[in-house]
Amino acid sequence: MDPLTGTGWMTSPPSDDAVWLRAEEPSAAAGARRQAVRLAERLGFAGERLGQIQLAVTEAASNLAKHAVRGEILVRIVRTGEDAALEVVCLDRGPGMADVRASRLDGHSTSGTLGLGLGSIERLADRSGMHSLPGAGTVLYAGFRPSGGRGASPEPGPPFAGLTRPIDGERECGDAFAARLDGGTVYAMVCDGLGHGPMAARAAQEAVRAMREAVLPARPIDLLRQVHQRLGATRGGAVAVASVDPAADVVHYAGLGNVAGWILGPDRRHGMISVPGIAGAKTRTMREHTYALPRGAAVVMHSDGLTDKWDAAGLPAPSRGPLLIAADLLRSAGVRHDDRCVLAVTTPGRR
Average of per-residue pLDDT across 5-29: 86
Helical H segments across 10-80, by residue range? 28-42, 47-67
Q: Which amino acid is at 73?
A: I
- Domain extents in the chain: 9-144, 160-346
With beta carbons less than 8 A apart as the criterion, state whether 227 and 207 touch. yes
Q: Residue 13 gets which letter from DSSP?
A: P
Residue 64 pLDDT more than 80? yes
Instruction: Render pLDDT for 271-285 as a digit per residue (tens, 0 to 9).
Output: 999 999 999 998 778
Residue 111 pLDDT more than 50? no
Q: Which pLDDT band, with edges at 50, 70 and 90, does 6 fall under?
A: very low
Average of per-residue pLDDT across 96-112: 52
**Is beta strand 18-22 parallel, antiparallel or unpaired with respect to 260-264?**
unpaired
Distance between CA 217 and CA 290 in Å, rounded? Answer: 16
Q: Residue 15 gets which letter from DSSP?
A: G
With beta carbons less than 8 A apart as the criterion, state whether 136 and 92 touch. no
Average of per-residue pLDDT across 239-262: 97
Average of per-residue pLDDT across 60-89: 91
Residue 117 pLDDT more than 70? no
Average of per-residue pLDDT across 89-102: 75
Instruction: Render pLDDT for 187-219 as a digit per residue (tens, 0 to 9).
Output: 999 999 999 999 999 999 999 999 999 999 999
Using a 10 angstrom Cβ sphere, with 0-12 exposed, 13-18 middle and 19 or more buried, the burial of residue 80 is: buried
Give the global pTM.
Answer: 0.91
pLDDT of 285 reads 87
Fold of 160-346: Phosphatase 2c; domain 1 (3.60.40)
DSSP helix, strand, coil percent of the chain (3-state; round to 5):
30, 30, 40
With beta carbons less than 8 A apart as the criterion, state whether 189 and 208 touch. yes
What CATH architecture does domain 9-144 belong to?
Answer: 2-Layer Sandwich (3.30)
Residue 267 pLDDT more than 70? yes
Distance between CA 83 and CA 4 in Å, rounded? Answer: 9
pLDDT of 112 reads 32
Residue among 82, 104, 75, 103 at smallest CA distance from 7: 82
Average of per-residue pLDDT across 79-101: 83
pLDDT of 154 reads 55
pLDDT of 114 reads 30
Cα–Cα distances (Å) from 118 to 53, 104, 106, in that order, read 13, 5, 8
Using a 10 angstrom Cβ sphere, with 0-12 exposed, 13-18 middle and 19 or more buried, the burial of residue 187 is: buried
